[in-house]
């Protein structure tokens, strides 16, 4: 297939995916109103809005509209079957892209920008979240899956070997190394904010007036830079008038690898920190620019702070900072007349195309953040490419660092071993005592309790969750002696759990197994596969056994009827939170305290 050159000036198709089934609906309608009547000749904008409120249908719009269009409703696509769409699903996003591409003339070359607008959470599984009337949100791996399905549609429509020119995140916290690495195969440039975005979102009219007016066809680099410049300039007035801070960056995804390599070398040296140097890293982290409850840190700013505390890492930090510094890119971008040299120079450019900030809170923002928690590493984090052992090994280091810097518990025992579940074979013959075996791991024991729940469900006739749970409670109540212990490898059938914690865990598994359709599940993933994945996360998490039942609900069931979300009442209102030992509280904690249970008195 042919390719599109970086300096080709062709029309744009901008695709706006507005996940507004939350408190952002009014601002999104205002953004769409900004597009009404804006002059565009060859470029087009298509949009999908999922509004808040039960029964309100999803709407699609096309700009410019038909001749004489004066209102937003005049731009509505009347051929779209009006149904309520779950914007947090892979299928919904893929279907939107497929529809949007139908507005790209086959005979014309075009550039493509996909903008995802809604609540954002960075690497965590709450992107386009708080869909009030759905049980789903889009995780970053799910976003990657949607882009994997969408890219062949784009290539087939254009007959070009290409990516999306710009992937825009009109959402909070999305300019992260973790997010960028997950999407780099699908887009040329990522545009997003490291920190919070105002609820008004991008100033679309201001961006369009400069970049997509009549007859204007900017390159991808030019449009990305215009978005950053117009956004930061627009919201700088909010800094002066209301004290609000903002930032936005454009990231060259094809230039990420030098940064990843430099950071990998830095992490390798961090693995050898002494206990004293771990304490110094805490201070460097403290001084660096942070976001989202101080759980994300600007990578370049962190690398300016580390050498002050740990001088021997100065060279490694400089290499990371250089990969994030766009100040020398203008010289590297000048054409030399030698295509090979120009191509080599292009690869040397920073991955940061343009970055800007306004306001005191984000003044040390330089374009790209990473996850750097103080007290708790989210178990799902290790699944991301940026963090795992095959790339930077950053997740492994975080676990070591948090363990090294965690304050010792005053009482109790932090994260005690999970007690082995007991099994009762449903035969009349007395059960044989199991042969001695190695102590099962927490993963083995959780899997065993899951199998106990499945056996109880089968004995209750399968389909009724209430009947199964009643059967489970009855079996537990009638069990007066502890049955013989069996390992997780051979749970042929079991109906009883020996401790209150095990019974609570079993009850949660019963909820999942008995009524999967009522929970937040990806239909493409087998229930047992999903359960095993969640069990794997919980087995490795730094949490107490007593907290596992609730975590099953939070990480697997994830239904608003079962577990309240972390951001239910406001966009990010940390005043709502109690400082409990629960992982969702520890995820945004700064004090690294051991999650223990107990009490103490003086005298």
* Mean pLDDT along residues 326-337: 80
pLDDT of residue 373: 95
What confidence tens digit (pLDDT) does each residue in 509-559 have?
A: 888 888 655 455 555 557 788 888 888 888 888 888 888 888 887 776 543
**What are the CA-CA distances from residue 473 to residues 453, 492, 503 (Å)?**
11, 20, 8
pLDDT at 151: 96
Q: How far apart are CA 190 and CA 554, in angstroms?
A: 30
Q: List, as one string, the DSSP characters of 91-110.
A: HHHHHHHHHHHTTS-TTS--
Cα–Cα distances (Å) from 329 to 180, 248, 347, in that order, read 20, 19, 10
pLDDT of residue 279: 97
How big is the CA angle at 89 (ends 84 and 95), to the nearest 5 degrees?
75
What is residue 541's predicted lDDT score, i.e. its pLDDT?
82
Over range 116-128, report the average pLDDT.
82
Q: Check: CB of residue 128 under 8 Å from CB of residue 185.
A: no
pLDDT category of residue 462 using cuts at 50, 70 and 90:
low
Which of these ranges, 2-11, 96-105, 362-371, 463-472, has the smallest mean pLDDT?
463-472
User: Residue for token digits 């951001």?
Assistant: 567
pLDDT at 80 over 70: yes
pLDDT, tens only, 362-412: 999 999 999 999 999 988 898 899 998 789 999 999 999 999 999 988 887
- Categorise residue 89: left if φ over 0, alpha if ψ from -120 to 50, beta otherwise: beta
Domains in the chain (CATH in brackets) are: 12-254 (3.40.50), 259-351+365-405 (no CATH), 442-563 (no CATH)
For residues 567-572, give the mean pLDDT. Answer: 37
pLDDT, residue 425, reads 34
Tokens of 474: 């009855």
pLDDT at 82 over 80: no
Q: Write out pLDDT tens, residues 248-295.
A: 999 999 999 999 999 999 999 999 999 999 999 999 999 999 999 899
- Rounded CA-CA distance 36/74 in Å is 9
Whole-number mean pLDDT of the chain?
82
pLDDT at residue 351 greater than cutoff 70: yes
Query: Residue 359: is its pLDDT beyond 60?
Result: yes
* Side-chain-side CA neighbours of residue 282 (13 Å): 19
Predicted local confidence at residue 116, as pLDDT: 95
């Amino acid at each position: 297939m042919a390719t599109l050159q970086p300096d080709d000036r062709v029309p744009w198709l901008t695709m706006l995916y507005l996940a507004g089934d939350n408190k952002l609906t009014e601002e999104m309608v205002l953004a769409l109103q900004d597009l009404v009547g804006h002059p565009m000749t060859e470029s087009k904008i298509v949009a999908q809005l999922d509004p808040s409120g039960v029964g309100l249908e999803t709407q699609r719009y096309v700009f410019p509209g038909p001749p004489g269009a004066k209102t937003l409703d005049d731009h509505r696509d009347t051929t779209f079957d009006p149904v309520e769409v779950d914007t947090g699903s892979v299928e919904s996003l893929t279907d939107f892209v497929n529809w949007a591409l139908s507005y790209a003339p086959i005979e014309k070359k075009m550039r493509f920008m996909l903008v995802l607008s809604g609540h954002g959470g960075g690497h965590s599984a709450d992107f386009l979240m708080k869909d009030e009337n759905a049980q789903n949100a889009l995780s970053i791996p799910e976003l990657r899956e949607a882009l994997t399905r969408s890219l062949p549609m784009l290539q087939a429509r254009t007959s070009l070997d290409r990516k999306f020119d710009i992937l825009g995140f009109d959402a909070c916290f999305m300019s992260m190394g973790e997010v960028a690495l997950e999407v780099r195969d699908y887009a040329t440039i990522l545009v997003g904010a490291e920190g919070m975005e105002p609820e008004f979102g991008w100033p679309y009219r201001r961006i369009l007036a400069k970049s997509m007016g009549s007859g204007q066809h900017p390159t991808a680099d030019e449009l990305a830079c215009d978005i950053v410049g117009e956004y930061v300039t627009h919201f700088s007035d909010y800094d002066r008038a209301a004290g609000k801070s903002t930032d936005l960056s454009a990231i060259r995804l094809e230039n990420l690898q030098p940064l990843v390599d430099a950071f990998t070398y830095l992490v390798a040296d961090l693995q050898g920190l002494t206990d004293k140097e771990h304490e110094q890293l805490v201070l460097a982290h403290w001084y660096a620019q942070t976001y989202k409850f101080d759980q994300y840190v600007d990578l370049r700013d962190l690398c300016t702070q580390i050498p002050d505390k740990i001088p021997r890492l100065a060279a490694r930090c400089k290499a990371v900072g250089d990969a994030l510094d766009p100040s020398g890119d203008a010289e590297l971008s000048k054409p030399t007349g030698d295509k090979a040299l120009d191509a080599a120079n292009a690869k040397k450019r920073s991955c940061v195309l343009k970055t800007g900030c306004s306001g005191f809170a984000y003044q040390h923002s330089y374009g790209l953040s990473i996850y750097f928690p103080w007290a708790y590493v989210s178990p799902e984090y290790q699944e991301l490419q940026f963090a795992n052992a095959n790339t930077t090994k950053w997740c492994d280091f975080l676990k070591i660092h948090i363990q090294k810097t965690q304050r010792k518990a005053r009482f109790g025992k932090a994260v005690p071993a999970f007690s082995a579940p007991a099994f009762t074979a449903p035969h009349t013959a007395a059960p044989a005592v199991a042969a001695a075996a190695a102590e099962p791991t927490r993963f083995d024991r959780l899997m065993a309790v899951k199998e106990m729940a499945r056996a109880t469900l089968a004995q209750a006739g399968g389909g009724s969750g209430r009947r199964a749970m009643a059967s489970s409670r009855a079996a537990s109540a009638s069990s007066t002696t502890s049955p013989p212990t069996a390992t997780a490898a051979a749970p042929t059938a079991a109906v009883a759990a020996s401790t209150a914690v095990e019974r609570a865990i079993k009850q949660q598994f019963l909820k999942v197994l008995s009524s999967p359709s009522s929970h937040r599940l990806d239909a493409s993933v087998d229930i047992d596969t999903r359960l095993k994945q969640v069990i794997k996360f919980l087995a490795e998490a730094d949490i107490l056994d007593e907290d596992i039942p609730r975590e099953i609900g939070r990480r697997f069931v994830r239904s608003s009827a079962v577990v309240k979300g972390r951001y239910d009442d406001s966009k990010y209102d940390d005043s709502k939170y109690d400082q409990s030992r629960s992982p969702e509280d520890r995820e945004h904690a700064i004090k690294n305290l051991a999650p223990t249970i107990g009490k103490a008195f003086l005298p």
